[in-house]
Amino acid sequence: MLQKRTSVSIAALIFLVSLFLVMNTSAREEHIKRSDLPAAVQKTVDEQSKGATIKGYSKEVENGKVEYEVELMVNGHSKDVSMDPEGNVIEVEEEVSLDALPAAVREGLVQRAGRGKIGKVESITKRGTVVAYEARVQTGPKHFEIQVGPDGKALDHKE
C-alpha cells in the first residue's frame, strides 16, 4: 500500500514540475507604462500612433526574446504593433471588416469556420507585407482562431 502511495505521489510531483516548466517557458506578457519603453520603441510608437488612440503598452518575453506592443484604436478599429527593443516593427495585427476582405480570403475563412460564427478578423503584417488573416470563431460556447494566407488558402504554419 505504501509503495502505491509513493508511486502516486511521485507521479503527481512529476506532473506539477512539468506544468511549472511549461508555464515558465511560454510567453509572459506584462502591461507596462510608456516610461518603461526603451527610447527607440517610444520613437516607433510615436510614428505608428499618429491619428490613433493609444489603449496600452505591454512587454512580452517569448522564446527568450523581448518584444514590446502598443495597442491602438484607429478610426474605430484595433491595431496592435509589436516591436523589438531597437524599435523595429516585427508585426502589425489590424482589425478588418469581413466585407472588406478580398473574396478569396473571405471564402477561405468562411470555409475554415465551418458552422462557426466568424467574429473579429485581423490582418497580420510582417516586414510590410500581409502574411495572413486571422479570425475568431465561435461554435456554441467554444471559441477558437483560424488563419488563412493572403490567397485565402490554409497555411502550413501559424503566423
Q: Each residue of 31-56: b (16+ CB within 10 Å) or e?
A: eeeeeebbeebbebbeebbeebeeee
17 or 100, higher pLDDT: 100
Total of domains in the chain: 1
Residue 73, domain extent: 27-148
Chain segment 6-29, per-residue pLDDT in tens: 544 554 445 444 444 444 445 688
H-assigned helices in the chain = 2-25, 39-48, 103-113
Paired residues of 89 in beta bridges: 83
CATH number for the domain spanning 72: value is 3.10.450.360
Residue 33 lies in a domain: yes
- Asked whether the beta carbons of 159 and 131 are under 8 A apart, the reply is yes
For all residues of the chain together, what is the average pLDDT? 88
pLDDT at residue 151 greater than cutoff 60: yes
Residue 11 lies in a domain: no
Instruction: Report residue 107 CA to chain centroid gap.
Output: 23
Residue 103 lies in a domain: yes
One-letter identity of residue 88: N
| Separation CA 98–CA 88 (nearest Å) | 29
Residue 108 lies in a domain: yes
pLDDT at residue 158 greater than cutoff 60: yes
Residue 127 lies in a domain: yes
